[in-house]
Structure 1
């Protein structure tokens, strides 16, 4: 998991614009080589989730962490926020695009990539990417519906913003603040890592017509390097 997280956070910090901050909420700070001044770590000690189902418990833990991060983000006066799963990668163009479009409610990633760890090919998902991957919504900060008393509770409606990522688009549209589709593939959903909440219970299809060779330019855009080559790539092409 540590190597997956390090690749993810390198991907986030690979932005072409420096108008961003990264808040990592964790039970224990990961021991990684990569350090960056844009990263803030928050260590938490949440009590065990009162859920008999491990799947639901995982949702509760994730929701608590996202809420904690959103509250902590206030000190940076954010304009937009995006939740990123710790094993995914994002496009280096996101921060620049958001900075150039400051008057939108936000965006959902309708088109993105699916990638099975270790493969030489990647698959383009042409629509509904936001339904399968939690790394999918960029939301104007004031639309996050943060509770007055910031305590995570699945019984309240606002939890949908933290774990039910596929519902955010519809909820905001109903409230008159619709998100726009991001006009380019914004993220890579990396599966078969052992960390996916959904993968293993939901069958993900890989259409051969959407398969393409994983090119060097795509690796650079998303910082998608092979985990076993971490140290080599860090010292050469991907060093920033």
Structure 2
């Protein structure tokens, strides 16, 4: 089974909680659009978003640790994301997953992931080398032909034991404690150095969505949108990734 872990930012630090909620609803619909039923989604949040979409394979976990704030350097945004991912990974144990995948709450994923993972239960895992970039509201989508995993947090599918979870997780630590769960671009190298290499996913696995107003690390100004990588946003892409305009 593939378990998705979705860390959701707090309304206290959102530029628009309404927009965060809309983006999350699209994300969770995309996740639950898997062609295989062999998956579960764990959403880790300070406050459960009010959405109309429900699915029996979604679990919400609310946390009580403080949200990010300027006066507490331990509770910075990426640390908050890391501790939420760790919380979800620890909770995932009860579903006996073969693999887990952290998904940013405003991205969309391929409906084929769970079915593919089910065919390879013993694999170390995969990184998404090829994926899509999408500017919110555009009629175009851009292909990222390589190193998608370096820019987007929705990019690594890891065999559960290779999460290297602590026996007793702590949630009041600084950035370094959660670094492995946050630094998505370095997971491939970490596992390579441990002689547990992961492979490139053999198909585009996710859509990285920018200009949401809530991106933690990248806005569109930091990304390259080459016209030669541009293609029309077709119905087949929309259907595979559950992508629709907010």
TM-score by shorter chain over 0.5: yes
- The alignment's TM-score, normalised by the length of structure 1, stands at 0.89
* Contact 1:160–1:167, Cα closer than 8 Å, also in 2: no
> Structure 1 residue 199 and structure 2 residue 191: aligned?
no
Change (3 A) 1:125 1:78: same
Query: Do 1:123 and 1:211's aligned partners in 2 also have CA atoms closer than 8 Å?
Result: yes
| Greater Cα offset, 191-200 or 82-91 | 191-200
Name structure 1 gaps, 5 residues minimum: 228-240
Structure 2 residue aligned with 1:104:
123
Whole-Å Cα distance in 2 between the matches of residues 55 and 201 of structure 1? 27
The 3 A distance-change label for structure 1 pair 55 and 165 is farther
Name the counterpart of 1:161: 180
Q: Is the 8 A contact 2:21 2:49 kept in 1?
A: yes
Provide, for residues 157-213 of structure 1, a one-character-per-residue CA deviation record: whole Å limited to 9, x for no partner. x62321111010000000000000000000000000011111249610101111000
State which of 130, 153, 167 in structure 2 corresponds to 1:134: 153
List runs of 5+ in structure 2 lacking aligned partners: 1-19
Query: Per-residue CA shift, 1:99-131, capped at 9, x if unaligned?
Result: 011221000000000000000000000000000
Matches within 5 A, 1:1-240: 1-49=20-68, 57-152=76-171, 153-154=173-174, 156=176, 159-200=178-219, 203-227=222-246
SS in 2 for 1:190: strand
State the number of aligned residues. Answer: 226
Query: How far apart, in 2, do the equivalents of 1:86 and 1:138 lie?
Result: 16
Q: TM-score, normalised by structure 2?
A: 0.87
Counterparts of 1:96 and 1:77 in 2: how far apart (Å)? 16
Q: Give the drift of 1:155.
A: 5.8
| 1:52, distance to aligned residue in structure 2 (A) | 5.3
